[in-house]
């Protein structure tokens, strides 16, 4: 149940659903959170918000002895503050899933509006004004709501970028991808929000790079590329001037071009030197770039982009990359995967619905027995079988997986043999394929 109260009535243990008044009036980026810190409580009471809406179903309720105060809180505001009338249509929409077509229309409007706002805010920073991170908060909240309604619509719409707005829509797209990925990883909403903000401003340092370089149709010169490579550090310096910039936002801005093998920039960091947030940002940033039309290349299909990223060994965190595949529902064909039904399968091309992966089941991992080939299109919403993880073919006695995968995708039937390759796990039977019938 939602209830509007005065800011002086807020106490620890309450769940803040939203603040009333301007975004600039309250001291928090995140619009919804569980209030557990005394410092946060003091910041709310010292702010200029006109009221606070709490969710009594998710946190501490206002004591019934304060009913008179609750009435006073509503005298100069909304008369319907004590119940469900506070659920405005946008909030109701955010609580139910939309179909792709239904959400796509809203996503188109969101992209147009957000591109203009991001362009304006970047222009302010370019003119020497202080970056106003709080001004990005409403955009991130809209992104989070859209992704909650449908995880695919906004991401699909952002792929249709015009060249002159690439930087701004790319920022929105990376925000949406990072928001969706963070939710998939079951992060708290406060972290999801931080990831959304980080995605929104990760490329703000590009304001120092002339458009003629950013939109150049041919290869960059060494000097031009050197200038482009300065944008993470330039963005970090801009954002560092904002006292409210979180560690995640600063880290993502500065390190989203680092790579695990040390081939990235600006510092050539390797392995554990690169944070989880920066690794996630790198995946989202590259995926959106590959699936977008650029002045120097046409967009790749989602499946092709993921396949190339998977093949670039050393660039991305493989575990996170597989998690990203689950988030967007796109896998490169030919992976050996373990399903929640304890079956092995190979990922298949799926041009019909790239947001729903297609697999070909061929082996029961629990019973250690072969199965007739069965094609499945996995669908999260209907609770069907799901990919749990990628498997190592060698652990299953398959020493030439590329050939085996190709044969499986061509319809060959697997059979069990007793001879095991040396060094493989002895409790798993070796697999190889019979000739096609």
187: left (phi over 0), alpha (psi -120 to 50) or beta: beta
Closest CA to 322 of 123, 181, 116: 181
Distances (CA, A) of 293 to 160, 300, 301: 8, 8, 11
Report the chain's mean pLDDT, rounded to a whole number.
81
Assess whether pLDDT exceeds 60 at residue 422: no
95 φ, ψ to 5°? -95, -5
Q: What is the DSSP letter of 261?
A: B
Tokens coding 89: 């249509």
How does residue 43 score in pLDDT terms, banded at 50, 70 and 90?
confident
Angle of helix 189-201 versus helix 166-184 axis, rounded to 10: 160
- What pLDDT was estimated at residue 427? 55
pTM beyond cutoff 0.85: no
Assess whether pLDDT exceeds 70 at residue 432: no
How does residue 420 score in pLDDT terms, banded at 50, 70 and 90?
very low
How does residue 215 score in pLDDT terms, banded at 50, 70 and 90?
confident
- What pLDDT was estimated at residue 418? 41
Torsion of CA 120, 125, 131, 133, to 10 degrees: 30
Q: Which CATH superfamily is domain 96-322 in?
A: Hypothetical protein af1432 (1.10.3210.10)
Q: Order of strands, edge to edge, in the sheet holding 343-348?
A: 369-377, 358-364, 343-348, 336-339, 387-390
Q: What is the DSSP letter of 365?
A: T
Q: What is the mean pLDDT of residues 59-75?
A: 50
- What pLDDT was estimated at residue 73? 39
Assess whether pLDDT exceeds 80 at residue 24: no
Assess whether pLDDT exceeds 80 at residue 152: yes
- What pLDDT was estimated at residue 351? 65
Tokens coding 356: 């729903």
Strands 430-433 and 358-364: unpaired
Lowest mean pLDDT among 7-16, 194-203, 255-264, 331-340: 7-16
Cβ count within 10 A of residue 88:
9
Q: What is the mean pLDDT of residues 14-36?
A: 68
Tokens coding 216: 């150049």
- What pLDDT was estimated at residue 425? 54
Q: Residues spanned by CATH 1.10.3210.10 within the chain?
A: 96-322
Angle of helix 276-290 versus helix 189-201 axis, rounded to 10: 50
Distances (CA, A) of 325 to 44, 188, 270, 421: 40, 21, 23, 31
Assess whether pLDDT exceeds 70 at residue 49: yes
Closest CA to 38 of 4, 8, 62, 13: 13
371 φ, ψ to 5°? -130, 150
Assess whether pLDDT exceeds 90 at residue 370: no
- What pLDDT was estimated at residue 29? 56
- What pLDDT was estimated at residue 74? 38
Higher pLDDT, 413 or 322: 322
In a 3-state reduction of DSSP, which class is residue 116?
helix
Q: Match 């299953």 to its residue by tokens.
A: 396
Top mean pLDDT of 102-116, 146-160, 167-181, 241-255 is at 167-181
């Amino acid at each position: 149940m939602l209830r509007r109260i005065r800011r002086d009535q807020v106490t620890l243990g309450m769940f803040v659903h939203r603040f009333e008044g301007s975004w600039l009036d309250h001291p928090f980026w995140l619009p919804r959170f569980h209030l557990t810190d005394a410092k946060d409580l003091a910041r709310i009471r010292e702010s200029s918000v006109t009221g606070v809406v709490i969710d009594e179903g998710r946190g501490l309720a206002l004591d019934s002895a304060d009913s008179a105060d609750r009435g006073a809180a509503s005298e100069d505001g909304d008369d319907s503050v004590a119940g469900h009338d506070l659920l405005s249509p946008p909030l109701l929409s955010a609580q139910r899933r939309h179909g792709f077509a239904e959400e796509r229309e809203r996503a188109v409007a969101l992209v147009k509006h957000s591109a203009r706002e991001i362009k304006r805010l970047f222009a302010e920073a370019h003119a020497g004004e202080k970056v106003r991170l709080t001004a990005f908060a409403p955009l991130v909240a809209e992104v989070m709501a859209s992704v909650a309604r449908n995880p695919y619509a906004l991401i699909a719409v952002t792929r249709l970028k015009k060249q002159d707005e690439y930087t701004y829509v790319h920022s929105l797209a990376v925000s949406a991808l990072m928001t969706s990925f963070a939710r998939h990883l079951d992060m708290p909403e406060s972290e999801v929000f931080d990831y959304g903000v980080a995605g929104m401003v990760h490329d703000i340092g590009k304001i120092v790079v002339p458009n003629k370089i950013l939109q150049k149709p041919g290869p960059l010169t060494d000097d031009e590329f050197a200038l482009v490579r300065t944008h993470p550090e330039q963005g970090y310096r801009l954002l560092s001037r904002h006292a409210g910039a979180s560690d995640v936002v600063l880290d993502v801005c500065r390190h989203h071009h680092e790579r695990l093998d040390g081939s990235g920039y600006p510092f050539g960091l390797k392995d554990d030197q690169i944070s989880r947030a920066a690794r996630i940002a790198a995946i989202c940033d590259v995926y959106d770039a590959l699936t977008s039309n650029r002045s120097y290349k046409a967009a790749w299909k989602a499946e092709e982009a993921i396949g190339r990223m998977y093949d670039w060994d050393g660039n991305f965190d493989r575990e996170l990359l597989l998690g990203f595949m689950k988030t967007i529902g796109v896998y490169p064909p030919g992976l050996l995967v373990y399903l929640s039904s304890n079956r092995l399968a190979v990922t298949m091309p799926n041009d019909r619905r790239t947001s729903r992966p297609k697999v070909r089941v061929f082996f029961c991992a629990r019973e250690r027995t072969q199965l007739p080939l069965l094609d499945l299109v996995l669908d999260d919403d209907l609770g069907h079988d799901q990919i749990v993880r990628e498997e190592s073919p060698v652990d299953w006695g398959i020493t030439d997986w590329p050939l085996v995968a190709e044969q499986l995708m061509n319809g060959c039937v697997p059979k069990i043999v007793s001879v095991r390759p040396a060094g493989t796990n002895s409790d798993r039977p070796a697999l190889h394929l019979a000739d096609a019938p």
